[in-house]
Structure 1
Amino acid sequence: MQKDKHPEYHPVVFRDRAAGYAFLTRSTASSEQTIEWDDGETYPVVDVEISSESHPFYTGKARTVDTEGRIARFERRYGGEGGG
Structure 2
Amino acid sequence: MKQGIHPENYRLVAFKDMSNDEIFITKSTVNTKETIDVEGTEYPLVKLEISRTSHPFYTGKTKLIDSAGRIDKFKNKYAKFKKN
Provide TM-score, normalisation by structure 1.
Answer: 0.63
Aligned length: 62
Between structure 1 and structure 2, the one with the greater Rg is 1
Q: Percent identity?
A: 42
Shift of residue 29 of structure 1?
A: 1.1
Contact 1:31–1:45 at 8 Å: present in 2 too? yes
Report what 2:9 is aligned to: 8
Contact 1:12–1:30 at 8 Å: present in 2 too? no
Aligned ranges 1:4-83 → 2 under 5 Å: 6-38=7-39, 40-62=40-62
CA-based RMSD = 2.2
List structure 1 segments (4+ residues) > 4 angstroms apart after TM superposition: 1-5
Amino acid at match of 2:18: R
Give the gaps of 5 or more residues in structure 1.
64-84
Give the gaps of 5 or more residues in structure 2.
64-84
